[in-house]
Structure 1
Amino acid sequence: MATTSEGGTLPITGLLLAGGAGRRMQQQDKGWVEYHGRPLLHHSLRPLKRHAREILISANRNQERYGALGYPVLADAESGFPGPLHGLLAGLAAAQQDWLAFLPVDAPALPDDLIWQLWVQRKGVPLVLAEDEHGPIPVIGLMHRRLIRLLQHYLDSGERRAGAFFDKIPQHRLPLSLAESLNCNHPEDLQGTIA
């Protein structure tokens, strides 16, 4: 097992969160929207492919198309695009590793060694979240699978807000620049600078 940021896998399952409705992107499946000539998902998979021992994709449509990439595809148990926490729950349930690194499909400029950076921050806590100058980013992080019961209970109570769930959990933060945390939510975001 690799123990440096130079390459190689870590005991981590990587989860690409691609299950959203794309409401702000004209209802498009953002994974397949092009950013600088390539689908967003190819940019967002880059950090996972570098360090994750296995990769899963959370997707609620175009599942066969995602499956053609060669990774298991997970759908939310609840219909209607219920939010990223449902994707995380499915990922934790399917993960073969104790740690789950999760990234959104619409963040094309994340550092290549992001998973390594999250990994070295994890000591002593079950959660590491990325943050930028606007605050924590609840769709970029690393969590231990022991949080699955707490997450299941939270969702069973009818809650969906990722920030409110993560606020209750001991955690470390990994600072990112605004350029690194670029999130392509709107068509105009696709003109952002490529990493």
Structure 2
Amino acid sequence: MSHAMQTHPAPTALNITGLILAGGRGTRMDGADKGLVLLGDKPMVAHVIARLAPQVSSLIINANRNQDSYAAFGHPVWADEQADFAGPLAGLQAGLQHCTSPYLVTAPCDSPYLPHDLVQHLAQALVSADTDLAVASTSEDHYQTIRPQPVFMLLKTGLLTNLNDYLQGGGRKMETWYRRLNYCETLFTDADAFRNINTREQLQQR
């Protein structure tokens, strides 16, 4: 598989922008904006910001509703270019369009326990495998089943053109898109760190 990108500096916290994906409908949360739902004494997105911000140079939030509420956290907020809540790839597209660093790392607004070493681990994998994109994965059943976590990825921002073409062609699936590229998946041993909160019941079980 040919490399899509030109030579890049090695990814570090100084040249990686973080993108928090908060553009969904919140269907399983009774239509609530999940990032703004309280977990403990603060909105769920605040937990994600607290974990991701120390790992990157700056943050962007992708949100299609309540943009003023998200902007109050002090980071730029951008909506999808695609209409009708087109999914996480549309949020990624918005993030890439407004990213000024050579790398972008993504995390969803409903995963408040994401690893403190998420970016470091993804960056090491991307460099070691010499790829343009690194995706987190977790193990189940004592490593018998490896599950990709595609909304947690580190990628070179030059992939925007490729993503634009995929979306314009009607593509919507995250895994279908990145598996066409020069990518790697890297294993995180703590699957619970990637647990997302989709329902009111899960919110109570936290």
Q: Same fold (TM over 0.5)?
A: yes
After superposition, residues 80-95 of structure 1 pair within 5 angstroms as 80-95=84-99
TM-score if structure 1 supplies the norm length? 0.90
Aligned residue type for 1:173 = E
Q: Tell me if structure 1 keeps the 8 A contact 2:55–2:116.
A: no
Q: Tell me if structure 2 keeps the 8 A contact 1:47–1:115.
A: no
**What is the aligned residue count?**
187
TM-score if structure 2 supplies the norm length? 0.85
Gaps of 5+ in 1: none
- C-alpha separation in 1, matches of 2:131 and 2:71: 33
Q: CA deviation at 1:192?
A: 4.2
What's the counterpart of residue 183 of structure 2? 171
Computed over aligned residues only, the root mean square deviation of the Cα atoms, in angstroms, reads 1.7
Aligned residue type for 1:130 = A
Aligned residue type for 1:109 = Y
What's the counterpart of residue 193 of structure 2? 180
How high is the sequence identity, in percent, across the aligned residues? Answer: 36
After superposition, residues 1-195 of structure 1 pair within 5 angstroms as 9-123=13-127, 124-133=130-139, 135-176=147-188, 177-193=190-206
Larger radius of gyration: 2
User: After TM superposition, which residue ranges in structure 1, 4 or more long, deviate above 3 angstroms?
Assistant: none
- C-alpha separation in 1, matches of 2:13 and 2:51: 11
Q: Tell me if structure 2 keeps the 8 A contact 1:50–1:113.
A: no
1:10 is paired with a residue whose SS is helix
Q: Tell me if structure 2 keeps the 8 A contact 1:17–1:105.
A: yes
Q: Tell me if structure 1 keeps the 8 A contact 2:18–2:56.
A: yes
- C-alpha separation in 2, matches of 1:29 and 1:88: 18
2:101 is paired with a residue whose SS is coil
Gaps of 5+ in 2: 1-9, 140-145
Q: CA deviation at 1:191?
A: 3.3
Aligned residue type for 1:48 = L
2:46 is paired with a residue whose SS is helix
- C-alpha separation in 1, matches of 2:153 and 2:34: 20
- C-alpha separation in 2, matches of 1:51 and 1:181: 16
